[in-house]
Amino acid sequence: MELQYDEYGAGNPHRLHAHLFAKGLAASGLDSEYGAYLDEAPLEVLMQNNVMSLFGLNRRLRAASLGFHAAFEATSSAPSRKIARGLQRLDFPPEMVEYYTEHVEADSVHEQLAVRTMCGTLIEEEPEQHANVWFGAWAYLHVEDLYGERMLTEWSA
């Protein structure tokens, strides 16, 4: 609950993370409508979302869903810091930078909640779910790696 409360702006609708992102897109001159760039998204990005949805929509995969989420939270704070610095260096609007700076601190807190509280508690209560948590974490890292490889290939071309 604590993690979701934070994602949804801690009670402030102007601090919803989705709202901050849309504000950043608009300030950058990009279309902020939901799904506006879906047709341009690489297959690997859609794969990330489909794997996450598969886990989240199937109760039997709830431990994998938690592992997927925990791996995301555990690996997002440092990249958010780098993205924010890059956006500042490129003179992007402060609204776009704010979305990423918000995630530097937030995701370091979310990491602890996801790994220790959510996954840790599940494994304590249901030790047989241990492998499924690891599978979810591996799945996240794998699809993220596929996306990274795709981007490196395109950038080197």
How many Cα atoms sit within 13 Å of 128 on the Cβ side?
Answer: 2
Residue 12 lies inside a defined structural domain of this protein? no
Residue 20 lies inside a defined structural domain of this protein? no
The single residue listed with the structure tokens 């506006």 is 36
Residue 26 lies inside a defined structural domain of this protein? no
Q: What percent of the chain has pLDDT over 70?
A: 97
Residue 63 lies inside a defined structural domain of this protein? yes
Note whether 110 and 3 are within 8 A (CB): yes
Residue 56 lies inside a defined structural domain of this protein? yes
Residue 47 lies inside a defined structural domain of this protein? yes
Domain extent, residue 72, equals 42-156
Total domains in the chain come to 1
**pLDDT of res. 76:** 85
pLDDT, tens only, 33-81: 999 999 999 999 999 999 999 999 999 999 999 999 999 888 888 899 9
Q: Hey, CA dihedral for 38, 42, 46, 48, is it positive or negative?
A: negative
Residue 78 lies inside a defined structural domain of this protein? yes
pLDDT, tens only, 30-39: 999 999 999 9
Tally of CB atoms within 10 A around 131: 12
